[in-house]
Amino acid sequence: MIELPRIGDPSLGYISLMQDGDPALPFAVKRVYWTYFTPNHVERGNHAHLRLEQIIVAVSGIIDFTLIDRKGKRQEFTLDTPDKGLYIPGGYWREIRFSHNAVLLCLASDIYDEGDYIRDLNLFLKSES
Ligand code: TYD
């Protein structure tokens, strides 16, 4: 989990950011995407990326992540403030749940490539890094 800068005060509001050269941003950003209007009974994700690295921010709402590594070890993370980011290296299965107002912002190390996905958990757990 990454603490992001929080510039401002309650009377003005805040700016948080990541930029090239930040030690907490260990890759060059090649894609930015955001997801929204996800009903809160829906679980998204359910895939792993082989190489893609990501930093995820809940710019609004609350987002719960379960990450599973190739050994099957589970870790839970809650993103509930826009000044926190979750760094996900390659090689993690993810399951994601959203509050109804959640907006997920993703900074990604590469452009979209379906070939980088594993969408079967058993295949992922048997896969080589
Ligand atoms: P996916 O990554 O499976 O989303 P989630 O894990 O949130 O359910 O993507 C959903 C669909 O959107 C899938 O058909 C691929 C498409 N997509 C793109 O075309 N480009 C992108 O950058 C992303 C993230 C998804």
Contact 57, 17 (CB under 8 A): no
Mutate to test the pocket of ligand 1, among 29, 32, 33, 117 (most ligand atoms within 8 A of CB): 33
Q: What is the pLDDT of residue 119?
A: 98
Q: Using the mean position of ligand 1's atoms as its centre, give its distance from the Cα of residue 128 in Å.
A: 23
For the chain, percent of residues with pLDDT exceeding 90: 98
Protein residue with least CA distance to atom 16, ligand 1? 112
Q: What is the pLDDT of residues 26-75, one digit of tens each?
A: 999 999 999 999 998 999 999 999 999 999 999 999 999 999 999 999 99
How far is the CA of 108 from the CAs of 8, 11, 92, 125, in angstroms? 27, 32, 14, 23
Q: Per the structure block, which two tokens stand in for 76?
A: 């839970």
Domain ranges of the chain: 27-126
Q: Is 49 a catalytic residue?
A: no
- Phi, psi at residue 28, to the nearest 5°? -80, 130
Q: Grade residue 129 by pLDDT with cuts at 50, 70 and 90.
A: confident
Q: Using the mean position of ligand 1's atoms as its centre, give its distance from the Cα of residue 118 in Å.
A: 13
Protein residue with least CA distance to atom 21, ligand 1? 112
**CATH classification for the domain delimited by 27-126, as one of 3.40.50.10140, 3.40.50.300, 2.60.120.10, 3.40.190.10:** 2.60.120.10
DSSP 115: G
Find all residues with CB under 8 Å of 62, minimum gap 6, and list them: 78, 79, 80, 98, 99, 102
The span from the CA of 87 to the CA of 37, in Å, is 23
Q: Grade residue 121 by pLDDT with cuts at 50, 70 and 90.
A: very high
Q: What is the mean pLDDT of residues 70-98?
A: 98
Q: What is the pLDDT of residue 73?
A: 98
Ligand 1: which residues within 6 Å by Cβ? 31, 33, 35, 44-45, 47, 112
